[in-house]
Amino acid sequence: MSKKIAVLPGDGIGPEIMAEARKVLDCLRDDYGVALETEHALIGGAAYDATATPFPEATLNLCRQADAVLLGAVGGPRWEALDYSVRPERGLLGLRSELELFANLRPAILYPQLAAASSLKPEVVSGLDIMIIRELTGGIYFGKPRGVHKNEQGERVGVNTLIYSETEIRRIAKIAFDIARHRNKRVCSIDKANVLECTELWRQVVVETHKDYPDVALSHMYVDNAAMQLVRAPKQFDVMLTDNLFGDILSDCAAMLTGSIGMLPSASLDKNGKGMYEPIHGSAPDIAGRGIANPLATILSLAMMLRYTFNDAANADRIERAVQQALEEGHRTSDIYSAHTIKVDTAGMGDAVVAAIRGQE
Ligand code: NAD
Q: Residue 252: which CATH number?
A: 3.40.718.10
Burial of 80 (0-12, 13-18, 19+ CB in 10 A): exposed
- The reported pTM is 0.92
Q: Does one domain contain both 161 and 223?
A: yes
Is 51 within a domain?
A: yes
Q: Does one domain contain both 259 and 276?
A: no
Average pLDDT per 10 consecutive residues for the chain, totaling 361 residues: 93 98 96 94 97 97 97 96 92 90 95 85 91 96 93 96 98 97 97 97 98 98 98 97 96 86 94 94 96 98 96 96 96 92 97 96 69
Over residues 259-279, the pLDDT tens digits come to: 778 999 999 999 999 999 999
**Active-site residue, from 30, 224, 271, 286:** 224
Q: Does one domain contain both 339 and 361?
A: yes
Q: Does one domain contain both 250 and 115?
A: yes
Q: Does one domain contain both 245 and 154?
A: yes
Cα of 33 vs centre of ligand 1, distance in Å, is 34
Q: Does one domain contain both 259 and 278?
A: no
Neighbours of 130 (CB within 10 A): 24
Is 136 within a domain?
A: no
Q: Does one domain contain both 72 and 153?
A: no
Over residues 198-239, the pLDDT tens digits come to: 999 999 999 999 999 999 999 999 999 999 999 999 999 999
Q: Are 319 and 110 in contact (CB under 8 A)?
A: no
Computed over every residue of the chain, the mean pLDDT equals 95
Residues paired with 277 in a beta bridge: 70, 267
Q: Does one domain contain both 245 and 123?
A: yes
Please give the residue range of the domain that contains residue 20: 1-102+270-361
DSSP H or E run through 4: strand 3-10
Q: Does one domain contain both 191 and 303?
A: no
Q: Does one domain contain both 232 and 280?
A: no
Q: Residue 350: CB within 6 Å of ligand 1?
A: no
Edge-to-edge strands, sheet with 265-269: 36-40, 3-10, 68-73, 275-279, 265-269, 103-109, 129-135, 239-242, 186-191, 217-222
Is 138 within a domain?
A: no
Active site residue 48: no
**Active-site residue, from 252, 317, 345, 351:** 252
User: Which ranges in the chain belong to alpha helices (H)?
Assistant: 14-32, 44-51, 57-65, 88-98, 122-125, 166-181, 197-210, 223-232, 244-257, 296-308, 313-328, 346-358
